[in-house]
């Protein structure tokens, strides 16, 4: 979760004082980066995934499952290879917000060889194994977006009681001890968000009304020690109340980052992936249970938006603007607000709140409107955490203050300029995907996204729809069983006018424009089901067909082909509804559990059984044919043959070119 | 697209009274970069046969519409090519999405050109002619990958029959016109026989996973031991036969234009920006010959 700077953190009061300073220097740093690196060309594609694993502990006797607060013990061991040999690791590890989370990435980015798609799952499995090796009996590494009983009493091991008057979060449910303590960042973030907004974060999730759910559903918080009755105002009937940053940031996601060839390609890919954010959210839905209750949502996204929301009441709009600079419609954790490529301007149909000083400064420095708008929008935010050491930097060389703001805007996509002093280029991060319970599924989702970007670039496609429609889609995507029941705005025709003109085609194209139905003002998008979007229909090509088309023109080795086929098959079936999302499967599991009383309550025992089942499925000890149907995939970490072949080809070519000169 | 009634009406404005190329004994269709046609060829899982027929149809229609009817009357060798290959290099190479064209800095080094030839004749001169045609029309000095596929012969082909063809390819490798070459649908022992005899070993063997659901263990072992890449394809045994080829011409031209043609080789080529996995261009060559009995 962002920069893990070392050093001396400032208090909130001091941090607040430096807000403008941080912004000014951050913008300066961006301008310098831009000027120096806007013409940078990176020759090859590089990409990688991030998985935020959870560690849990089972008490088989008492039929209870806990979040295991052990990350601080195992992370130093996991990170040891990197300390010894930073350039030669197969996996890399980082801490995350909670002491039950460990974040793993591949040691080296994947590249352009098709065979790399065959490595993703193997590397994810390796990460899981590396974590697992360091755990004791009954302790397991799990991958899922949300721990169903997070925030319930005694949901951790060791067990702690939240202390509302002294904790950083002041939460009724989430003790400070859950927060990873070996790096000050996370506690400070927690405290500062609360101090800035001058109240606890709060979110209410509609409860899933089952046959025996009490009507109205009103929670009794006294068991949580709510003596002051503080939360009767914040909680709403028929909703589940959440009040801790950690209940959001302690969720896990699956992220993919790409390095683009140039800043233009990065901006292009950033834009093209935006319409896919709600689609992937719906496809990966894995969080139907919150604080031990079945809810009406299947995804973590909006919870995270609310739990990381540092806006004051003035900024939110519930009070008139007096001390704050802007009215801000969204949390700093939210879906993106604008496209950033010059050609996308017409799709930015929503007002984007911007710091106009920043905007003008960027324009003066020859940065175009769309990019200036994006940065000016990010910079409406205050820094949430500041280290003394970051205050006196060289703006021509360092990027820490820019990153301070950029990395605390947690959006569905992130545009990442090259860091100072590195070989790394302009990058784009795809952030909405929920984490699935098996490595196979996670690899499938990642592979799908990467292949789609290759196809978009190959066929010059355009997926853009107005940003307001993307926001609507984000709302639709998170609803219970959205994949099967919702329709989403999606562009009808993905081919662009920029595809090269083939003259022997002009007769066809001309005829098309003479057709009576051809109407230039006709809406470019319409509502489609996930099935139509992914698998196509007689009116829409379908994203999978585009990918298949692309793959048929690439030399794939048999093993990679087999693996990719399996991944695409999963995507296809899930989109068609013949395989379930993790969320739907979890709901079914609860509904069919002998102990479930159809009152929306997921008890300790039900949660224990659910997570134990998931653990066995993850470790290939049991099958889950409703969600995943596969034979063992051919995924492997060993790609030396293919890499050698590629190197040989390059050598031959090089000598050929040299000889001809 | 070809199922829409409007297009059929427009492609046949009136019956064709005279043959377009009555003296032609060789015909070449060269599509140029077909990636521009993406929107049109969006049927799910269209096979290479569908694609080839589709492009032939488009080119014949364009010929009829745009060409002076006298142009090919005396020609023995008819070449139908998309106009763009002559002058529009942007269209040829395509612009990469998101990159302003003046910043497109692709060099030949960045590209990997892969060619697969579907040979329907074992006559060595057909292969030679095909490779030369590809090099000339693409205006390339070399091709990175060259795969040769023989329909129906795959299982019954003998090394005896195949070596003359492989020798031709080896010549091109010697001349550095082809950098690596491979075969398609070869099983053991044909693959190992070839490997033992060949001066330039095949770098890859392409097999059809749809047909051969799981790779025979022996084959898998052999390729790994000998550093041969096992690639996959989903192409049919025969890309286009005489009857379909003739029928396609028949639909747009005079019946004499369609007579007797035997497709000899079909080539599919792709040009990929290798280290970014982006396909820049893709096209086909379809080469056919026929014998004519001249009647006065």
* Per-residue pLDDT reduced to its tens digit, A81-113: 999 998 889 999 999 999 999 999 999 999 999
Check which CATH number belongs to the domain holding A98 and give it.
3.30.590.50
Query: Mean pLDDT, to the nearest integer, of B65-80?
Result: 86
Separation CA B248–CA B2 (nearest Å): 12
Query: What pLDDT score does B37 carry?
Result: 63
* Beta-sheet strand order (sheet of B143-149): B77-81, B26-30, B278-289, B262-273, B111-119, B143-149, B178-184, B204-208, B229-233
The answer to whether A459 contacts chain B (CB < 8 Å) is: yes
R_g over Cα of chain A: 25
A504, A561, A660 ranked by CB distance to B209: nearest: A561
More confident residue, B293 or A174: A174
Between CA B284 and CA B51 the distance in angstroms is: 9
pLDDT at A634: 86
Report whether pLDDT(A522) > 80. no
CB contact under 8 A, B272 and A461: no
Residue A464, in any domain of the structure: yes
* SS3 track for A471-491: HHHHHHHCECCHHHHCEEEEE
Whether residue A257 contacts residue A266, with contact meaning beta carbons closer than 8 Å, is answered with: no
User: What is the CA A337 to chain-centroid distance, rounded?
Assistant: 16
The CA distance from A454 to A547, in Å, is: 8
The answer to whether the Cβ–Cβ distance between B36 and A500 falls below 8 Å is yes
Over residues B88-107, the pLDDT tens digits come to 343 444 445 555 444 567 88
Residues of chain B contacting residue A645, judged by C-beta atoms under 8 Å apart: 203, 227, 229
End-to-end CA distance of chain A: 50
> With contact defined as beta carbons under 8 Å apart, do B181 and B213 qualify?
no
Best B4, B276, B281 member to test A by mutation, with max A CBs in 10 Å, is: B276
What chain A residue is nearest to B205 in terms of C-alpha separation? A557
Of the spans A394-403, A544-553, B70-79, B167-176, which averages the highest pLDDT?
Answer: B167-176
The verdict on a CB contact (< 8 Å) between B59 and A504 is yes
Please list the alpha-helical segments (H only) found in A341-399. 356-364, 369-378
Q: Quote the pLDDT of residue A648.
A: 81
Q: What is the mean pLDDT of residues B201-227?
A: 88
A-interface mutation test, from B278, B281, B282, most A Cβ less than 10 A away? B278
CB within 8 Å of B229: residues ≥ 6 apart: A555, A557, A641, A642, A645, B182, B203, B204, B205, B223
CB contact under 8 A, A653 and B109: yes
pLDDT of residue B73 exceeding 50? yes
What is the pLDDT averaged over residues B239-246? 94
Closest-CA distance of chain B to residue A43, Å: 7
What pLDDT digit, counting tens, does each position of B119-155 carry? Answer: 999 999 999 999 999 999 999 999 999 999 997 655 6
Q: Using 50, 70 and 90 to split pLDDT, how confident is the model at A512?
A: very low
- Mean of the per-residue pLDDT values for chain B? 84
One DSSP character per residue, A29-71 reads: HHHHHHHHHTT----S-EEEEEEEEEEEEEETTTTEEEEE--H
Band (A504; pLDDT cuts 50, 70, 90): very low
Per-residue pLDDT, averaged over B156-171, amounts to 93
pLDDT of amino acid A632: 80
Work out the average pLDDT over B25-53: 78
User: CB neighbours (10 Å) of residue A94?
Assistant: 18
Mean pLDDT in chain A? 91
Contact A238, A216 (CB under 8 A): yes
Query: Taking CB atoms and an 8 Å cutoff, what residues of chain B touch A495?
Result: 38-39
A269 chain-B contacts, CB cut-off 8 A: 98
- Verify whether the Cβ–Cβ distance B38 to A499 is below 8 Å: yes
In a domain, A371, yes or no: yes
Q: With 70 as the cut, is the pLDDT of residue A513 above it?
A: no
Range ranked top by mean pLDDT from A426-435, A486-495, A641-650: A426-435
How far apart CA A583 and CA A485 sit, in angstroms, is 14
Q: Mind listing the pLDDT tens digit for each residue in A584-631?
A: 999 999 999 999 999 999 999 999 999 999 999 999 999 999 999 878
Question: What pLDDT score was predicted for residue A230?
Answer: 53
Predicted confidence (pLDDT) at residue A189 exceeds the cutoff of 80: yes
Which token pair is B27? Answer: 């015909």
Residue A103: give the domain boundaries: 1-313+325-396+410-512+521-635
Residue of A nearest to B54 (CA): A505
pLDDT at A661 over 70: no
Which whole number is the average pLDDT over A39-61?
Answer: 93
> Which H or E element spans position A242?
strand A239-242
Residue bearing tokens 């196809």: A455
A625 vs B213: CA distance, rounded Å: 22
Nearest CA of chain B to the CA of A559: how many Å?
A: 8
Q: Is A493 on the interface with B (CB under 8 A)?
A: yes
Per-residue model confidence (pLDDT) at position B99:
54
ipTM given for this complex = 0.84
Confidence grade of residue A232 (pLDDT, cut at 50, 70, 90): low
Task: Report if residue A318 sits inside a domain.
Answer: no
pLDDT at B44 over 80: no
pLDDT of the residue at A626: 95
- Tell me what pLDDT residue A572 has: 97
Considering chain A, what percentage of its residues have pLDDT values greater than 70?
93
C-alpha torsion angle, residues A289, A294, A296, A299 (rounded to 10): 10
Contacts of A449 in chain B (CB under 8 A): none
A605's CB contacts (< 8 A; 6+ apart) are A63, A64, A595
CB nearest B209 (choices: A502, A505, A562): A562
Over residues B27-42, the mean pLDDT reads 76
* CB contact residues (below 8 A), chain A span 41-100, against chain B: 41, 43-45
CA distance B50 to B244: 10
Per the model's pLDDT, the better-predicted residue between A570 and B44 turns out to be A570
What's the pLDDT at B86? 37
> Would you say residue B40 has pLDDT above 80?
no
- For residue A222, the model assigns a pLDDT of 77
* Residue, of A281 and A170, whose pLDDT is higher: A281
Among A99-108, A118-127, A530-539, A651-660, the minimum mean pLDDT is found in: A651-660
pLDDT for A653 beyond 70: yes
Of A39-48, A181-190, A219-228, B124-133, which gets the smallest average pLDDT? Answer: A219-228
Q: Please give the span between the terminal C-alpha atoms of chain B, in angstroms, as a whole number.
A: 41
**What Å distances lie between residue B179 and A232, A555, B113, B266, CA to CA?**
75, 16, 10, 20
Confidence class for position A483, pLDDT limits 50, 70, 90: very high
List all residues 6 or more positions away from B193 whose beta carbon is below 8 Å from its beta carbon. B159
H or E stretch covering A494:
none
pLDDT, tens digit (0-9, with 9 covering 90-100), for A124-135: 999 999 999 999
Is the Cβ of A274 closer than 8 Å to some Cβ of chain B? no
> Is A417's pLDDT higher than 90?
yes
Q: Which residue of B has its CA nearest to A500?
A: B91
pLDDT computed for residue A280 by the predictor: 98
Alpha-carbon distance A133 to A181, whole Å?
23
Number of domains into which chain A is organized: 1
């Amino acid at each position: 979760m962002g920069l893990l700077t070392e050093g001396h953190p400032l208090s909130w009061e001091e941090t607040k004082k430096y807000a403008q300073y941080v912004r000014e220097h951050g913008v300066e740093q961006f301008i310098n980066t831009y000027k120096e690196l806007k013409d940078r060309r990176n020759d090859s594609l590089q990409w990688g995934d991030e998985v935020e694993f959870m560690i849990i502990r089972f008490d088989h006797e008492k039929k209870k499952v806990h979040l295991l607060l052990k990350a601080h013990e195992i992370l130093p061991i996991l990170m040891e290879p990197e300390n010894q040999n930073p350039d030669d690791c197969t996996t890399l590890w980082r801490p995350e917000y909670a002491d039950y989370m460990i974040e793993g990435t591949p040691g080296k980015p994947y590249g352009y060889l098709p065979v790399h798609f065959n490595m993703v799952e193997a590397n994810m499995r390796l990460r899981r194994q590396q974590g697992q090796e360091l755990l004791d009996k009954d302790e397991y590494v799990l991958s899922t977006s949300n721990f169903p009983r997070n925030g319930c009493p005694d949901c951790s091991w060791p067990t702690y009681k939240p202390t509302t008057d002294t904790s950083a979060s002041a939460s009724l449910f989430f003790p400070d001890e859950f927060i990873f303590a070996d790096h000050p960042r996370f506690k400070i973030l927690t405290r500062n968000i609360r101090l800035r907004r001058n109240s606890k974060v709060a979110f209410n999730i509609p409860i899933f009304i089952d046959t025996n759910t009490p009507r109205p559903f009103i929670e009794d918080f006294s068991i949580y020690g709510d003596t002051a009755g503080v939360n009767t105002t914040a909680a709403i009937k028929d909703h589940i109340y959440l009040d801790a940053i950690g209940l959001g940031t302690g969720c896990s996601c699956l992220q993919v980052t790409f390095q683009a060839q140039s800043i233009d390609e990065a901006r292009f890919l950033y834009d093209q992936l935006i319409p896919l954010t709600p689609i992937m959210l719906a496809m990966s839905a894995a969080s139907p249970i919150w604080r031990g209750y079945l809810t009406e949502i299947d995804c973590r996204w909006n919870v995270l938006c609310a739990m990381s929301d540092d806006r004051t009441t003035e900024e939110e709009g519930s009070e008139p603007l007096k001390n704050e600079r802007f009215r801000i419609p969204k949390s700093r954790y939210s879906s993106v607000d604008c496209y950033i490529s010059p050609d996308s301007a017409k799709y930015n149909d929503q007002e984007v709140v911007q710091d106009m000083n920043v905007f003008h400064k960027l324009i003066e420095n020859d940065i175009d409107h769309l990019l200036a708008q994006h940065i000016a929008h990010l910079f409406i935010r205050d820094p949430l955490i500041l280290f003394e050491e970051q205050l006196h930097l060289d703006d021509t060389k360092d990027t820490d203050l820019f990153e301070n703001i950029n990395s605390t805007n947690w959006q569905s996509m992130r545009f990442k300029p090259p860091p100072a002093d590195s070989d790394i280029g302009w990058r784009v991060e795809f952030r909405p995907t929920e984490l699935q319970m098996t490595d196979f599924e996670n690899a499938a989702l990642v592979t799908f996204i990467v292949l789609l970007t290759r196809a978009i670039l190959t066929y010059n496609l355009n997926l853009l729809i107005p940003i307001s429609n993307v926001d609507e889609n984000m709302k639709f995507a998170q609803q219970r069983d959205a994949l099967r029941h919702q329709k989403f705005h999606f562009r009808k025709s993905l081919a662009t006018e920029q595809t090269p003109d083939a003259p022997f085609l002009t007769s066809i194209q001309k005829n098309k424009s003479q057709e009576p139905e051809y109407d230039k003002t006709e809406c470019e998008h319409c509502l489609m089901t996930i099935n139509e979007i992914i698998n196509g229909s007689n009116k829409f090509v379908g994203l999978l067909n585009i990918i298949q088309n692309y793959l048929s023109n690439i030399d794939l080795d048999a093993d990679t082909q087999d693996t990719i086929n399996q991944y695409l098959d999963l995507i296809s079936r899930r989109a068609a509804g013949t395989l379930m999302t993790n969320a739907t499967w979890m709901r079914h599991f609860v509904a069919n559990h002998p102990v479930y009383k159809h009152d929306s309550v997921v008890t300790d025992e039900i949660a224990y059984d659910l997570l134990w089942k998931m653990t066995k499925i993850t470790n290939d000890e049991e099958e889950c044919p409703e969600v995943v149907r596969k034979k063992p995939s051919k995924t492997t970490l060993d790609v030396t043959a293919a890499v050698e072949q590629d190197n040989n080809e390059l050598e031959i070519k090089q000598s050929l070119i040299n000889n001809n000169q | 697209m070809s199922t829409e009634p409007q297009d059929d009406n427009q492609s046949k404005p009136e019956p064709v009274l005279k043959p377009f190329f009555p003296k032609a004994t060789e015909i070449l269709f060269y599509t140029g970069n077909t990636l521009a046609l993406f929107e049109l060829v969006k049927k799910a899982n269209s096979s290479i046969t569908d694609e080839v027929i589709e492009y032939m149809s488009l080119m014949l229609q364009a010929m009829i519409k745009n060409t002076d009817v006298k142009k090919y009357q005396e020609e023995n060798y008819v070449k139908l090519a998309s106009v763009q290959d002559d002058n529009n290099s942007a269209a040829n190479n395509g612009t990469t999405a998101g990159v302003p064209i003046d910043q497109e800095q692709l060099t030949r080094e960045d590209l990997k050109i892969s060619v697969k030839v579907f040979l329907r004749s074992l006559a060595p001169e057909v292969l030679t002619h095909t490779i030369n045609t590809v090099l000339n029309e693409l205006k390339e000095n070399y091709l990175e990958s060259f795969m040769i596929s023989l329909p129906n012969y795959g299982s019954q082909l003998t090394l005896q029959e195949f070596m003359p063809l492989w020798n031709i390819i080896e010549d091109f490798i010697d001349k550095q016109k082809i950098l690596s070459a491979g075969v398609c649908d070869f099983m053991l022992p044909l693959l190992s026989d070839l490997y033992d005899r060949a001066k330039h070993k095949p770098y890859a063997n392409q097999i059809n996973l749809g047909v051969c659901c799981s790779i025979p263990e022996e084959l898998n072992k052999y390729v790994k031991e000998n550093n041969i890449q096992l690639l996959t394809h989903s192409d049919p045994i025969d890309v286009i036969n005489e009857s379909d080829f003739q029928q396609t011409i028949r639909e747009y031209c005079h019946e004499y234009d369609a007579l007797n043609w035997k497709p000899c080789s079909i080539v599919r080529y792709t040009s990929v920006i290798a280290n970014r996995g982006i396909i820049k261009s893709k096209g086909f060559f379809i080469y056919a010959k026929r014998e004519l009995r001249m009647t006065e």
